């Protein structure tokens, strides 16, 4: 890995502290319920695994994989489901767990898709949010960090499948 191209934006310690706070907020808000957490593959896996280990309520986990259609993944606006949920979310309290909200197109689509299955409730937790890049109106219910319009990698986030294993969230200068 070429460390020269990477600059730490959010350290592992900052992430750990914020993930604990999010887990506490979510555990409090869902007390007495058993939320159905939907992790968005692959970027959200590390966030989800740290989040749930800090939650002290009953919960279930499932995963979805989506991809933007076409070569320009951020601007096409067409989202395709590559892996769907294995269980029904009808009547469940669904919490989508995502790594980052950028244009908002992915979560906009995912929320519409899940809402059409009649959950009891639907919320979104995202570790990162780049509000400057929105193409559609979208606001997550829980957000770890708002960041400027920079391309970041690490803690699950990739560039062409590289850098997911970094403990810090880093700015990638190509
Ligand atoms: P959106 O549909 O534009 O909101 O895109 C969200 C998806 O784009 C995320 O789930 C990521 O997979 C990817 N993405 C957006 N920004 C970044 C970034 O800075 N680093 C890595 N992946 C990103
Ligand atoms: Mg993602």
Contact in structure between 56 and 31 (CB atoms under 8 Å) = no
Q: Cα(91)–Cα(84) distance, rounded to whole angstroms?
A: 18
Residue nearest to atom 5 of ligand 1 (CA): 102
- For the domain spanning 12-147, the CATH number is 3.40.50.2020
Q: Is the CB of 103 under 6 A from ligand 1?
A: yes
Q: Is the CB of 152 under 6 A from ligand 1?
A: yes
What ligand 1 atom has the least distance to the C-alpha of 106? 2
Q: Cα(144)–Cα(125) distance, rounded to whole angstroms?
A: 8
* Boundaries of every domain in the chain: 12-147
Contact in structure between 58 and 1 (CB atoms under 8 Å) = no
pLDDT for position 68:
74
Mean pLDDT in order along the chain per 10 residues (174 residues): 81 98 98 98 98 98 86 66 95 98 95 97 98 95 97 96 97 88
pLDDT for position 71:
52
Q: Cα(32)–Cα(28) distance, rounded to whole angstroms?
A: 9
């Amino acid at each position: 890995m070429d460390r020269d191209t990477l600059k730490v934006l959010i350290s592992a310690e900052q992430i750990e502290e914020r993930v604990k706070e999010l887990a506490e907020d979510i555990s409090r808000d869902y007390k007495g319920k058993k939320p159905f957490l939907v992790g968005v593959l692959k970027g959200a896996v590390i966030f989800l695994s740290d989040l749930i280990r800090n939650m002290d309520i009953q919960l279930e986990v499932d995963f979805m994989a989506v991809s933007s259609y076409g070569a320009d993944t951020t601007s096409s606006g067409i989202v395709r489901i590559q892996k769907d949920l294995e269980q029904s979310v009808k009547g469940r309290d669904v919490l989508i767990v995502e790594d980052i909200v950028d244009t908002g197109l992915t979560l906009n689509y995912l929320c519409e898709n899940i809402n059409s299955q009649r959950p009891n409730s639907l919320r979104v937790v995202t570790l990162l949010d780049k509000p400057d890049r929105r193409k559609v109106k979208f606001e997550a219910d829980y957000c770890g960090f708002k960041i400027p319009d920079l391309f970041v990698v690490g803690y699950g986030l990739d560039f062409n499948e590289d850098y997911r294993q970094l403990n810090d969230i880093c700015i990638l200068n190509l």
